[in-house]
Amino acid sequence: MTLHLVIHRPAAAEGSEDAAAERHALQEAVWEVADSHWAPTEEALMVSCDLSPAYLLSHFKVGLARRGHKQPGLLLVVPMGREVACMGLPPDGEAWMREAL
């Protein structure tokens, strides 16, 4: 599987119900294509799947629109290589990344 970093900053104001609803809609779209994902922060998701970044971006955009978020704000999908450097992850996050890579 390929590990993708997905950055999502909702179009709605931070902390609003609309921003929370948009984040939830993205997570639902993620579950449609990936069995495994982990969110290290509110704006970042790590998604493990074998789809291309372009396909994932298109899928997320359509999935958000289907759920009423036609202007989803910032959405960035970046495939990650096998060598990942990080620090400050909780143990469950490190374990998830090891398994996903």
Taking a C-beta distance cutoff of 8 angstroms, is the pair 80, 3 a contact?
yes
- What is the structure's pLDDT at 31? 92
Among residues 85, 68, 71, 83, which one has the least CA distance to residue 12?
71
Rounded CA separation 21/76 (Å): 18
Phi, psi (deg, nearest 5) at residue 85: -105, 130
- What is the structure's pLDDT at 26? 93
The parts of the chain modelled with pLDDT lower than 70 are none
Q: Which amino acid is at 84?
A: V
- What is the structure's pLDDT at 6? 95
- What is the structure's pLDDT at 11? 83
- What is the structure's pLDDT at 59? 96
- What is the structure's pLDDT at 85? 75
- What's the pTM value of the predicted model, to 2 decimals? 0.83
